[in-house]
A and B are shown apart, each in its own frame.
Chain A
Amino acid sequence: KQEVTQIPAALSVPEGENLVLNCSFTDSAIYNLQWFRQDPGKGLTSLLLIQSSQREQTSGRLNASLDKSSGRSTLYIAASQPGDSATYLCAVRAYNDMRFGAGTRLTVKP
């Protein structure tokens, strides 16, 4: 059974800092990996999707990498802003299965 771990569980940084969120998974037989953002009491917003054949994806200030062989992904956020404060979840998709990490709760202080 796939297990997804996210480190750290919580992170607080001052505005403007660059930061890295980590995600690791135990089974490398995946279709893709997705990073999501969730605001309190809200649903999920997809940030980046990396297919199993890809190494990284970029969108604006976000960059996600995938190393399938080592079972790791990182989400890099450049020049963080208070509006980036949210919980960030990574999810790993295999056949008919999608497993989430517990998330990293990010707080960006003005």
Chain B
Amino acid sequence: GAVVSQHPSRVICKSGTSVKIECRSLDFQATTMFWYRQFPKKSLMLMATSNEGSKATYEQGVEKDKFLINHASLTLSTLTVTSAHPEDSSFYICSAPPATGPSYNEQFFGPGTRLTVL
């Protein structure tokens, strides 16, 4: 089956630093990847849609300068949280639908990255 990995799984950083989270589709290509964040005991909130070879599409209220998204290849998207603050602490999850094949259009999710900003 289609597998999506995220790295790191957990990160603790100091306030003011930047953190990069990688999302990889391991056995399929994805022209689009989605980034979500989840607060404790809340549902997933779509932050942005990452498009290979073009700019990401951000949801209303999400600061594009704060959450930098790069979709460098058909198997890799990165989310960089710049100048992180404690309120950025959250669980970040990416998902990717295969661009082709029998699982076309089905969302496969990474295991998530727990970010803690001190």
Contact = CB atoms under 8 A, between A and B. Distances in A.
Nearest to B105: A31
A59 interface: no
A102 B107 contact: no
Interface of B: 32, 34, 36, 42-46, 49, 57, 91, 93, 95, 97, 105-112, 114
A97 B49 contact: yes
Interface string A17-51: 00000000000000110101000011110100101
* Interface SS, B side: strand
Interface string A79-110: 00000000001010100111111110000000
Given A34-B107, A98-B46, A100-B44, 13 more contacts: A31-B105, A41-B114, A46-B106, A46-B108, A93-B105, A93-B107, A96-B49, A96-B57, A97-B46, A99-B46, A100-B45, A101-B43, A102-B42
B49 A91 contact: no
A35 to B, nearest CB: 11
Contacts of B112: 42-43
B86 to A, nearest CB: 19
A46 B108 CA distance: 8
